[in-house]
C-alpha cells in the first residue's frame, strides 16, 4: 500500500505566533484522521523551530518549503539542509512552481538541492506541473516528463524511496480552478509511468504522488478516489486547521 499524504504548504503566510497556533490546532485535530494518513506541515523558515516543537512527538511531520543548493558557508540569506534537520524537519518541498517562476529555480539547482536533502536524511516533495499556456498547447505531459527526467533521473531507485512527487498544474494553484479528477488522474498515471520507465514498476508503485492546486474539503474526496492520486499538497486550505483536516478525512 502506498502512503497517503496530506501536506500543508503555508507559503509566505502567518506570523510566528499565528503559525504556532495553527500547528497546535492541526495537532489537536489530527486524532480524527485515520492512522495511515501522513500529515505534514511545511512552514516558513522562521516558523520551523517553534512549529517543530509544537508537532514534536505527534503524528504531524515538519517540512521546509525550500532549501539551499549549497551545504554551508558564505551564502548570505540561505538555509542549509543541516539547519533544517537541526530543527526537526523530516521533509522539504523542492521545485514549487512559485520558486521556479519568481526565484529562478532551475532543474540543475533542484538536482543539487535534492542531492543535499537526501544526504542529510530529509525526504523530498518535488513539485512538477505545467502552466496554462502549456496545458492549452497540450504540452503538459512533456513538461512534467522533462521536469522529472531532468531532476529525478539523476538519482537511484533507493533514493526514490525518500521522494514524493507533487503534481501541481500552475493554472490551478490559488486560482480556485481545480483540475478535474480525471485530468489529474491521467497525468498522475503518466508520471508513475515516467518513474517506472527509469526505476522499474515496483519503485513507481510504491511512490506517493500528490495532487496540488485548489484542493479543498469539497473536492478532495473525488481526487483521492483516483487510483494514482495518493494525497494532496495543500496551499490556501492548509491555513485553516478545519479545512486541512477535512481534506485529510477525504480518503
* 208 binds ligand PGA, rule: CB under 6 A: no
- Judged by CB under 6 A, the number of residues near ligand PGA is 13
User: Within 13 Å of residue 148, how many CA atoms lie on the same side as its CB?
Assistant: 29
- Please work out, in degrees rounded to the nearest 5, the angle formed at the alpha carbon of residue 37 by the alpha carbons of 179 and 178: 10
Concatenated DSSP letters of 193-233 = HHHHHHH-HHHHHH--EEEESS--HHHHHHHHTSTT--EEE
* 233 binds ligand PGA, rule: CB under 6 A: yes
Q: Where are the alpha helices (DSSP H) in the chain?
A: 16-29, 45-55, 81-86, 97-102, 107-119, 132-136, 140-152, 157-160, 181-199, 201-206, 217-224, 241-248
| Least spacing, CB of residue 164 vs ligand PGA, in Å | 13
* 8 binds ligand PGA, rule: CB under 6 A: no
C-alpha cell belonging to residue 227: 487510483
Question: 188-207: which residues touch ligand PGA (CB under 6 A)?
Answer: none
How far apart are the C-alpha atoms of 7 and 42, rounded to whole Å? 7
* Closest CB to ligand PGA among residues 155, 211: 211
* Closest CB to ligand PGA among residues 52, 236: 236
C-alpha cell belonging to residue 192: 508513475
| Least spacing, CB of residue 236 vs ligand PGA, in Å | 4
* Closest CB to ligand PGA among residues 110, 233: 233
* 235 binds ligand PGA, rule: CB under 6 A: yes
* 174 binds ligand PGA, rule: CB under 6 A: yes
Q: What is the DSSP letter of 162?
A: T
* Closest CB to ligand PGA among residues 167, 199: 167
Task: Catalytic residue, from 130, 168, 185, 188: name it.
Answer: 168
- Please work out, in degrees rounded to the nearest 5, the angle formed at the alpha carbon of residue 47 by the alpha carbons of 59 and 147: 80
* 168 binds ligand PGA, rule: CB under 6 A: yes
Task: Catalytic residue, from 96, 134, 140, 185: name it.
Answer: 96
Annotated catalytic residue 96: yes
Nearest CA among 59, 4, 72 for reference residue 221: 4
DSSP helix/strand/coil, 125: strand
* 126 binds ligand PGA, rule: CB under 6 A: no
* 173 binds ligand PGA, rule: CB under 6 A: yes
Looking at 215, 223, 229, 248, which residue binds ligand PGA (CB under 6 A)? 215
Q: Which residues here bind ligand PGA, judged by CB under 6 A?
A: 9, 168, 173-174, 212-215, 233-237
Would you please indicate which residues are annotated as catalytic (active-site) residues?
A: 96, 168
Amino acid at each position: 500500500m502506498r502512503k497517503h499524504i496530506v501536506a500543508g504548504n503555508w507559503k509566505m503566510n502567518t506570523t510566528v505566533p499565528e503559525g504556532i497556533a495553527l500547528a497546535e490546532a492541526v495537532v489537536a485535530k489530527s486524532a480524527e484522521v485515520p492512522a495511515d494518513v501522513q500529515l505534514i506541515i511545511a512552514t516558513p523558515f522562521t516558523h520551523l523551530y517553534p512549529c517543530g516543537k509544537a508537532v514534536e512527538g505527534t503524528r504531524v511531520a515538519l517540512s521546509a518549503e525550500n532549501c539551499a543548493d549549497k551545504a554551508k558557508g558564505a551564502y548570505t540569506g540561505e538555509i542549509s539542509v543541516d539547519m533544517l534537520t537541526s530543527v526537526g524537519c523530516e521533509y522539504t518541498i523542492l521545485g514549487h512552481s512559485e520558486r521556479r517562476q519568481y526565484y529562478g529555480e532551475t532543474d540543475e539547482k533542484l538536482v543539487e538541492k535534492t542531492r543535499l536533502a537526501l544526504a542529510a536524511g530529509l525526504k523530498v516533495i518535488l513539485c512538477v506541473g505545467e502552466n496554462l499556456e502549456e496545458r492549452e498547447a497540450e504540452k503538459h505531459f512533456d513538461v512534467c516528463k522533462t521536469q522529472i527526467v531532468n531532476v529525478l533521473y539523476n538519482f537511484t531507485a533507493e533514493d526514490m524511496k525518500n521522494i514524493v512527487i507533487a503534481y501541481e498544474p500552475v493554472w490551478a494553484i490559488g486560482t480556485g480552478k481545480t483540475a478535474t479528477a480525471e485530468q489529474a488522474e491521467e497525468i498522475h498515471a503518466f508520471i508513475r509511468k515516467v518513474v517506472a520507465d527509469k526505476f522499474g514498476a515496483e519503485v513507481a508503485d510504491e511512490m506517493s504522488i500528490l495532487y496540488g492546486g485548489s484542493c479543498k474539503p469539497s473536492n478532495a474526496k473525488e481526487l483521492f478516489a483516483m487510483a494514482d492520486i495518493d494525497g494532496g499538497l495543500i496551499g490556501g486550505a492548509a491555513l485553516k486547521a478545519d479545512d486541512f483536516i477535512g481534506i485529510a478525512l477525504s480518503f
